[in-house]
Structure 1
Amino acid sequence: MRGPVARVVRVALYTLLVFVFAGPLLALLVGAFSRVPDPSRLSLVPSEFTLDNFRAAFERDVLRYLLNSFIVVGGGLLLQIAVSVSAAYALARKKFPGMRLVFLLILSTMMLPEEILAIPLSLVLADVPVIHVSLIGSLLGMIVPVAAWAFSILVMTEFMKEVPVELEEAARMDGAGELRVFWSVVLPLCRPALGVIGIFGFTMIWDQYMLPLLVAQDASQFTLPLALRTLRSDDQVGVGVLLAAALLALLPSVIAFLAMQRQFMKGLTSGAVKG
């Protein structure tokens, strides 16, 4: 359908889609900087601009919770990327007995919901095998379990399979060892995939709720997503304060995506072309 009618229909449809997807984000942004006397009525139009919501949020140790989240996501993401690229290189380039079984086990972890893993995970963290150390009540207990993520391993494995083997053979003929080949040849070619797993890994760790709930034993160990539940259950905390804390929880994910957007888009388009 063409003509003025079709143009009007398209504009109306696009406006509706923008309202549906951007409306809640706009309400969050406006509510965080406005006085919200009635929690059942949020407006998309700014009124009575104020920073009191953020001041009240800071008085309730939101900055401490934000710092805890940054520590967990920083340590967890570094470990996750290191484990993912190492495991992917082994799966993509090495042949060993039981490789298909290992690959199947990695895939199976993606099928299990967090609720099923909660009890065995808490038992393991309370008494880590071999070293017999308890990680309950520490930020380290929130970092170690996210060090391996099946999604990141699978993305890196499929991307590394597309790296030409001839490049590695040429490097070995020049005298490069296995570690040098991996670090100087394979890894630089996987930067788009690193952008993809970096963004998804950051978001996955940042949004963790079940894991901090299992590990934290004191409010000082809460991450920001877990602290939002505490603020929501506090009758003395207004909706504006809760929206301000929610905005602080949202911003790092947005900033991480904008910072790694170029590599993320390269990773997506590379996968589309190879597929």
Structure 2
Amino acid sequence: MATYSPQNRTLISSATLSRRKGKILYRTVLTVVLVLFTLVFLGPLYWMVTGGLKSASEVVANPPTYFPKHPKPGNYHTAWSDFTIPRLLFNTLYYAFGALLFQLIFDVAAAYAISKLRPIFGKLILGGMLATLMIPAAVLVVPQYMTVLDLPVLHVNLIGTPWAIWLPTVANGFNIFLLKRFFDSIPEDLMHAAAIDGAGPLRTLWSIVLPMSRPILGVVSIFAVVNVWKDFLWPMLVEPDPKKQPINIGINSLSQGIPENVIIAGLAIASVPTLLIFLLFQRNIMSGLTAGSLKG
């Protein structure tokens, strides 16, 4: 006789699913939900890609067309040259990997200290970091801008320099939490063995912790690059020179006098790198997020 277990509770009971009508209803609802979510997420991407293939008049036509009547692939070549996409891509990569470097250095150090060195008030500090995740990013724009406008102690104006983009990305509470959770799963026996062999905290971090933390470091790296790549408001405020702006802001700054279909084609090109990052590393992202969640 089967026993009841709370772990077996589902929205639809197994008895209902074993019936023919239950299976049909379940599969119908599942198919409808999947199709709706697919349309919601892929609809804007489809509109952007096909919009870049339309003529300028067809883009603004009402009602809109679902597929270009006369596709114009040349719009993408025009966007590539008019927006100087290679230079904007270089700027974006420069900012993204600079932010990644600083995040790996400081966030790893913070997470390692809280997880393994266990300083006084470590839990309180971690709680304060996580509390910052509850604050809307828009609320922090003015204080951050005033900070980079006149950096405390040094009294240096960072507007128009890469530091204005890099520094606000360093203290990322979410990344510190992910790293700390993974570091917690590393057995203490390894840490004690390293201490017995004479390894100090930095040596232990470099030789033991970091080699074991490649999955979560990969996830943090992807998040760091994508966050800088998709950011719009902050780089627009702190980098007024269109020649030094990342791709999203650069396209916006250089869009004066350019047809809308070419602008849409430029935006489609700008979205390709982040889509490729997700498609290529989605398995790494999921494995990194779940790594360290179970101890054993």
What TM-score results when the alignment is normalised by the length of structure 2?
A: 0.81
Deviations 1:13-39 (A, max 9, x none): 543433332222122222224434322
Pair 1:53–1:91, CA change in 2 (3 A): same
Q: What is the alpha-carbon distance in structure 1 between the residues aligned to residue 25 and residue 133 of structure 2?
A: 47
Deviates more, 1:223-232 or 1:90-99: 223-232
Of residues 129, 132, 138 in structure 2, which corresponds to 1:115? 138
Q: Residue 86 of structure 1: CA displacement? A: 0.7
Q: Which among 248, 260, 276 is matched to residue 239 of structure 1?
A: 260
Say which SS state the counterpart of residue 291 (structure 2) adopts: helix
Maintained 8 Å contact 1:54/1:245: no
Preserved CA contact (<8 Å) 1:31 1:43: no
Equivalents in 2 of 1:151, 1:3: separation in Å? 40
Q: C-alpha distance in 2, partners of 1:257/1:274?
A: 27
Give the corresponding residue for 2:99.
76
Whole-Å Cα distance in 2 between the matches of residues 10 and 130 of structure 1?
A: 58
- Residue 146 of structure 1: CA displacement? 1.0
Tell me, in whole angstroms, the C-alpha distance in 2 between the residues paired with 1:9 and 1:149. 39
Question: Matched residue of 2:152: which SS?
Answer: coil
Partner of 2:59: 39
The 5 Å alignment of 1:255-270 reads 255-270=276-291
Which deviates further from its counterpart, 161-170 or 249-258?
Answer: 249-258
Kindly state the Cα deviation for residue 268 of structure 1 after the two structures are TM-superposed: 2.9
Q: Counterpart in 1 of 2:120?
A: 97
> What is the CA–CA distance in structure 2 between the aligned matches of 1:6 and 1:256, rounded to whole Å?
34
Which of 229, 240, 252 is residue 252 of structure 2 equivalent to?
229
Against the structure 1 CA distance between its residues 16 and 120, is the aligned structure 2 distance closer, same or farther, given a 3 Å change threshold?
Answer: closer
**Pick from 130, 148, 158: which aligns with 2:171?**
148
Instruction: State the alpha-carbon separation in 1 of the partners of residues 41 and 186 from structure 2.
Output: 38
Q: Which amino acid aligns with 1:238?
A: P
Partner letter of residue 113 of structure 1? P
Alignment size in residue pairs: 273
2:76 alignment partner in structure 1: 53
Q: What CA deviation, in whole Å up to 9, does each residue of 1:78-98 have, x standing for no partner?
A: 111221111000010123223
Listed as ranges, the gaps of 5+ residues in structure 1 are none
User: Where does residue 20 of structure 1 map in the other structure?
Assistant: 40
Distance in 2 between the 1:42 and 1:99 partners? 57
Task: Work out whether residues 83 and 147 of structure 1, in 8 Å CA contact, stay in contact via their aligned partners in 2.
Answer: yes
Q: CA deviation at 1:218?
A: 2.1
Whether contact under 8 Å (2:185, 2:293) holds in the other structure is no
- More displaced stretch, 244-253 vs 100-109: 100-109
Query: What's the RMSD between the two structures over aligned residues?
Result: 2.6
Unaligned runs of 5+ residues in structure 2 are 1-20
- For residue 9 of structure 1, report the CA deviation from its aligned partner: 5.8
2:270 is aligned with 1:249? yes
Write the letter of the residue equivalent to 1:266: S
Partner of 1:167: 190
Contact kept, 8 Å, 2:191 with 2:204, in 1: the verdict is yes
Deviation at 1:273, TM superposition (A): 4.3
Cα separation, 2, equivalents of 1:263 and 1:226? 29
Shift of residue 103 of structure 1? 1.7
State the shift of 1:116 in Å.
2.1
Distance 1:139 1:248, change over 3 A: farther
Task: Give the counterpart of 2:147 among 124, 129, 140.
Answer: 124
Would the alpha carbon gap of residues 217 and 12 (structure 1) be closer, same or farther in structure 2, given more than 3 Å must change?
closer
Conserved? CA contact 2:83–2:251, under 8 Å: no
Match of 1:189 in 2: 212
Is the contact made by 1:31 and 1:42 (CA closer than 8 Å) also made in structure 2?
no
Rounded to whole Å, the distance in 2 between the matches of 1:42 and 1:169 is 66
Percent of matched pairs sharing the same residue: 31
Q: 1:56 to 1:250 in 2, by over 3 A?
A: closer
